[in-house]
């Protein structure tokens, strides 16, 4: 691992881990949840608000920033940190998931992928080398190897995807030139244990500074997800960070952490906010329910976020009905706070070796305060 990047594993409680990932733009205590800033912005939330929420890591998207405004322009303007005025660590994905989700408008071969822009239909091509060059222009602290996300989700497509992912991982390592970026490999293989084992062992031998588990949260059952995480983490090295891509509900964070995951990202908190929903303890709260129209309670009386300390369900429902932009901001603040405080608290419990008791408490049924109807 580059001297700019080290990972200190501080404690374990069962399989759950607490550590610190050191990067050029600051330390990342783990477990960590990273909000998604697809277009170099976390939707509806300012960088200052993210700092107040104690966000430690942000994810930005290579595919979208390559298309608009362009990675060369971002490099010319000082890189992604300066462009979006974010002083902390940034992770960029490789663009692979977005490219492969364009199933009807892309063509794959062993060298790379040719695809049509979803913006204007123009033709573009990503190879492992091109993905790394774009991410080097963007200048994130953590970058991802260009992998194949199999589609459709079957064994034959996964077998081919694993082989391509491995060849492309080797090419990404060869293409990387910046010492101030950490390149993570991505384990693929769907829900097929033999493929996941093969992928984890192959990538571990390449000695990446960190590893991601890709290709989950795409339609498999929770049991399949959990079994896959357990298998992969039993193979990945203990002294490297482990990143579960695209997962970010309270339940999934807990289930990932107790199985040895260190890093998470997901669009869920901000996407739910734009769809009038808030995380509520063991579930979700739809702020549009009629009984909230004159409810003076906050979303969650136990929550210490800015939204819950200052605004009622009735006010939030009014903002949503009036289509006010502030609704998305206040709900996003609450949802992000919920996830960040959850992983922060779990980290403390791991350090204290008291995680089991804590999880027993948060899994108890809770009643919801009901305002006047």
- Rounded Cα distance, 232 and 227, in Å: 9
- Rounded Cα distance, 173 and 167, in Å: 10
User: Cβ contacts of residue 364 below 8 Å, gap of 6+?
Assistant: none
Selected catalytic residue, list 13, 93, 252, 295: 93
Residue of 271, 194, 179 lying closest to 228 (CA atoms): 194
- Catalytic: 265? yes
Q: DSSP string covering 234-254, please?
A: HHS-TTS-EEETT--SHHHHH
DSSP 8-class letter at 181: S
Cα-based torsion angle of the residue sequence 304, 90, 25, 351 in order, rounded to the nearest 10 degrees: 50
**Is-contact 335 273, C-beta < 8 A?**
yes
Selected catalytic residue, list 71, 252, 262, 265: 265
CB atoms under 10 Å from CB of 254, counted, come to 20
The angle subtended at Cα 340 by Cα 296 and Cα 350, nearest 5°, is 125
Catalytic positions are: 93, 265
């Amino acid at each position: 691992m580059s001297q700019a990047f080290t990972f200190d594993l501080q404690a374990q409680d069962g399989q759950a881990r607490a550590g610190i990932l050191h990067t050029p733009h600051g330390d990342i205590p783990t477990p960590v949840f990273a909000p998604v800033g697809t277009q170099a912005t976390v939707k509806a939330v300012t960088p200052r608000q993210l700092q107040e929420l104690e966000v430690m890591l942000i994810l930005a998207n290579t595919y979208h920033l390559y298309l608009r405004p362009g990675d060369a322009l971002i490099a010319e303007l000082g890189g992604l940190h300066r462009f979006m005025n974010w002083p902390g660590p940034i992770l960029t994905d490789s663009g692979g998931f977005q490219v492969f989700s364009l199933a009807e408008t892309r063509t794959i071969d062993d060298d790379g992928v040719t695809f049509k822009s979803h913006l204007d239909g123009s033709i573009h091509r990503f190879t492992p080398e091109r993905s790394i060059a774009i991410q080097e222009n963007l200048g994130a602290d953590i970058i991802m190897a260009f992998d194949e996300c199999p589609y459709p989700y079957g064994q034959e497509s996964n077998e081919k995807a694993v082989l391509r992912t491995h060849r492309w991982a080797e090419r990404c390592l060869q293409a990387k030139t910046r010492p101030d970026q950490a390149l993570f490999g991505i384990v693929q293989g769907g829900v097929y244990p033999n493929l996941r084992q093969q992928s984890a062992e192959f990538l571990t031998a390449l000695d990446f500074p960190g590893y991601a588990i890709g290709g989950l949260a795409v339609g498999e059952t929770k049991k399949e997800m959990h079994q896959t995480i357990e298998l992969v983490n039993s193979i990945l090295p203990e002294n490297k960070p482990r990143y579960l891509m695209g997962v970010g509900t309270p339940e999934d964070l807990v289930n990932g952490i107790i199985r040895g995951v260190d890093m998470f990202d997901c669009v869920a908190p901000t996407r739910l906010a734009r769809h009038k929903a808030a995380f509520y303890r063991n579930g979700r709260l739809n702020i549009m329910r009629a009984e909230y129209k004159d409810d003076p309670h906050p979303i969650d009386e136990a929550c210490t976020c800015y939204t819950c300390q200052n605004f009622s369900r009735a006010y939030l429902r009014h903002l949503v009905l009036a289509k006010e932009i502030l609704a998305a901001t206040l709900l996003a603040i609450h949802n992000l706070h919920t996830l960040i405080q959850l992983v922060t608290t779990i980290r403390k419990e791991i350090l204290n070796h008291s995680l089991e008791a804590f999880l027993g408490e948060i899994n108890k049924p809770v009643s919801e305060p009901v305002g006047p109807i």
